[in-house]
Amino acid sequence: MPDNESRPSLDHPWENGWAPDTSRAPGTRRLWLAGALAVATIVACVTAIGLNDQPADGTSAAGRGRTTSDKETSAGLISFASPSASGSPTPSAGSGSPSPSASASVSASPRPQGSSSPRTSAPASAPTASPTRGTSGSEPAAVRRSVQSVNYPDRYWHLSDGSVRLDVIGSGREQREDSTFTLVKGLAHSSCHSFRTSDGTYLRHRSFVLVKDRDDGSALFRQDATFCARATSSGVIALESVNYPGHFLRHERFQLKLQRYEHNGQYGADSAFRLVEGLA
């Protein structure tokens, strides 16, 4: 029997007693397809989660100490670079930032300087601190010098009756000769100075007064006759005793004496001198 016999005519469908077929629900085939697709999706998700949560065994690439290759990474797994031995992260190969080299480190220890500790400059009229031991400049082994006062620039060291005074020097030959000394290396310390007179004697302090005396070969004489120049400003020095550290030559009432350093302007002015060309 043909399938379309139960169907009414298109002009009068309900007049001939036709009713729709209710033996099966409408859209059953579509529901089955949707259900199958949902099940497949759930299975795929469960499988992916199980693979991601699976712990790495002792024979994995990470356990063998090697990084994942590009071919393994392209499968969709995220790889992390393993930390370096020092604990700092190692840049990845594609990051473009080079690792620091050992030659980039700078030594913390300063290079040795050619001179001793720097000296502090002070006004010519008043040295403000007791200078440190050492020479003030590179003087030749033996040169003829006169010693000029800073606060009395018209006066110079002058031998008078066996002691040294600060006097105004005229044009007389003998007076100029007695105001000129040969500056030699210190008898007690080669980095300091000794002053030799024209008759072969030396200037030394005795009872803290600067006098001339002949070398008797004793250690005491060599120490009394040795003075270390301490630069206080450009071209200005103070002369410190070797065997009385902290004691400097100064003029007092124009007499040259050895006195302990005092932190005041008058002492600084009276103990400041210049080594100039010999007057004779």
In a domain, 127, yes or no: no
Q: What is the pLDDT of residue 69?
A: 45
Which element (helix H / strand E) includes 164? Answer: strand 163-168
pLDDT value at residue 139: 53
> Residue 267: inside a domain, yes or no?
yes
For residue 237, report the phi and psi dihedrals to the nearest 5 degrees.
Answer: -130, 160
Where in the sequence is the domain holding 255, given as residue range(s)? 142-277
Residue 24 lies in a domain: no
Task: Count the domains in the chain.
Answer: 1
Q: Is residue 158 part of a domain?
A: yes
**What pLDDT sits at residue 47?**
80
Cα–Cα distance for residue pair 148/65, rounded to 1 Å: 82
Containing 144, the helix (H) or strand (E) segment is: strand 142-149
Q: For residue 15, is it within any domain?
A: no
pLDDT of amino acid 40 = 87
pLDDT of residue 12: 54
Task: Give residue 17's pLDDT.
Answer: 56
CA distance 143 to 276: 10
Residue 218 lies in a domain: yes
Has residue 74 been placed in a domain? no
Q: Any idea what the CATH number is for the domain that residue 258 is in?
A: 2.80.10.50
Residues 7-14: contacts with CB within 8 Å, 24+ apart? none
The pLDDT of residue 132 is: 42
* pLDDT at residue 8, rounded to an integer: 52
- How does pLDDT run along the chain (280 residues), one tens digit per residue? 455 555 555 555 555 555 555 555 556 677 878 888 888 888 888 887 877 766 554 444 444 444 444 444 444 444 434 444 444 444 343 334 333 333 333 333 333 333 333 333 333 334 444 444 444 445 556 899 999 999 999 999 999 999 999 999 999 999 999 999 999 999 999 999 999 999 999 999 999 999 999 999 999 999 999 999 999 888 899 999 999 999 999 999 999 999 999 999 999 999 999 999 999 9
CA distances from residue 214 to 158, 160, 183, 218, 240 in whole angstroms, order as listed:
17, 16, 16, 11, 21
Q: How many CB atoms lie within 10 A of CB 13?
A: 13
**Residue 216 corresponds to which tokens in the numbers above?**
């008797």
- Classify residue 22: in a domain, yes or no: no
Point out which residues pair with 274 in neighbouring strands: 148
